[in-house]
Homo-oligomer: A and B are copies of this chain.
Amino acid sequence: MKKITGKAATIRDVARVSGVSVGTVSRSLNAPETVRPGTLSKVRQAIQSLGFQPDFRAQNMRRRNTMTVGFVIDDIANPWHASCFKAVDAEMRQRGYSLYLISTNGRASEEAAAIDMLQHGRADGIVMTINNEQDARTIKRLKELRIPSVLLDRDIPLEIDAVLTEHATGLRQATNYLIGLGHRRIAIITAGNDIRPGRERVRGFVEAFEKNGLPVPEDLIRSQSLSVDFGFREATALLQTQNRPTAMIAAGNRILVGVLRAIQQQGVSIPGDLSLIACDRSDVALLYPGPITLIDRPVEEIGRTAAQLLLERLEGQSERPAQRVAFPTHLILGGSCLPIAR
């Protein structure tokens, strides 16, 4: 077996072999309709026989792009992010783009470093879910961003496209459902005020009580972080109080893992002892002894939309104003909720 070796063929080699100029070879590749059929076939033959493939680095250099987009999130092990990545990737790849995946571990410094790096000739655009909408370092960078980008599920008062979820409506609906089942002591565990999902979910939750003319159980609102640990800690605490909640909304797929861990550890049975509602489809939510009732959202559509917004800016160099698209949620009934016993 002959090992392929030596330099790869360049456009000059192709020109030499086919007896035309480099310009013509280039046009044969990028605008074949402008070169005569005879010439074209000579060029194509040379390309074939040399196994020529254009060098992306040189193309990037000359075209001033990279056909690369950064996808920045806190943790790719979060199944929602993974699904979203796949949706964005599918859409972008089909247009020739590749994605850098950057998992920042939730650290603001890594986030800032990622944006810096991507901006300086490594990517043509960014799709990101930043960690904290108030972080000064990140904000500063977003403000001076020189490549187009799309925020996923984050809301910042800057001219940046965003794809959002109607979390408030989702939570209102879920809470309403529980109230309808007779629950009053309903707990919610979710992200903090520093990101939109946290704010909106709590807002929807509160509104549901208010619309029903019921007092809001302020003591049962635990809004701070989306982490497994936070879910575990708060669920544990809530389950140990005197006046235990009869229902709980684990609003965040990582939170759910923590909550289930706590539930298991405390020997609480679902839905016998506690009604439970989760957010977002995940193996765990669909499987935990019986599927959990959950607030779903269309992750593929969300990802695809993000990709499309970005592509609009990358290809049609339309300088349109920033756009915000919001997707509705759907309550999917599982077996984790019961009417409250009288």
Decide yes or no whether A54 CB sits under 8 A from chain B.
Answer: yes
Interface 1/0s, chain A 92-109, versus B by CB < 8 A?
000000111111000000
Decide yes or no whether A146 CB sits under 8 A from chain B.
Answer: yes
Contact for A57 among B61, B101, B290, CB less than 8 A: B61
Residues of chain B within 8 A (CB-CB) of A83 are 77
A101 touches B121 (CB 8 A): no
Closest-by-CB residue of B relative to A89 is: B103
A56 touches B287 (CB 8 A): no
Bound Cα distance from A99 to B117, whole angstroms: 13
Residues of chain B within 8 A (CB-CB) of A290 are 264
Interface 1/0s, chain A 187-221, versus B by CB < 8 A?
00000000000000000000000000000000000
Decide yes or no whether A233 CB sits under 8 A from chain B.
Answer: no
Residues of chain B within 8 A (CB-CB) of A117 are 98
Chain A residue total in the interface (Cβ 8 A): 48
Residues of chain B within 8 A (CB-CB) of A82 are 76-77, 82
Interface 1/0s, chain A 125-156, versus B by CB < 8 A?
00000000000000000011010000000000
Residues of chain B within 8 A (CB-CB) of A257 are 283, 287
B79 touches A86 (CB 8 A): no
Decide yes or no whether A284 CB sits under 8 A from chain B.
Answer: yes
Decide yes or no whether A184 CB sits under 8 A from chain B.
Answer: no
Bound Cα distance from A72 to B57, whole angstroms: 21
Interface 1/0s, chain A 1-37, versus B by CB < 8 A?
1001000100000000000000000000000000000
Decide yes or no whether A341 CB sits under 8 A from chain B.
Answer: no
User: In angstroms, how far is the closest chain B Cβ from the Cβ of A7?
Assistant: 10
Closest-by-CB residue of B relative to A67 is: B122
B288 touches A56 (CB 8 A): no
Closest-by-CB residue of B relative to A61 is: B61
Bound Cα distance from A288 to B82, whole angstroms: 21
Closest-by-CB residue of B relative to A260 is: B287
User: In angstroms, how far is the closest chain B Cβ from the Cβ of A120?
Assistant: 5
B283 touches A264 (CB 8 A): no
Decide yes or no whether A224 CB sits under 8 A from chain B.
Answer: no
Q: A64-B57, A264-B290, A287-B257 are in contact. Are A77 and B77 (CB under 8 A)?
A: no
Closest-by-CB residue of B relative to A63 is: B57
Decide yes or no whether A60 CB sits under 8 A from chain B.
Answer: yes
Residues of A that sit less than 8 Å from B by CB: 1, 4, 8, 53-58, 60-61, 64, 66, 68, 71, 75-77, 79, 82-83, 85-86, 89, 98-103, 117, 120-122, 143-144, 146, 257, 260-261, 264, 282-284, 287-290
Chain A to chain B contacts (Cβ below 8 Å), 6 pairs: A56-B66, A57-B57, A57-B66, A79-B79, A257-B283, A283-B283
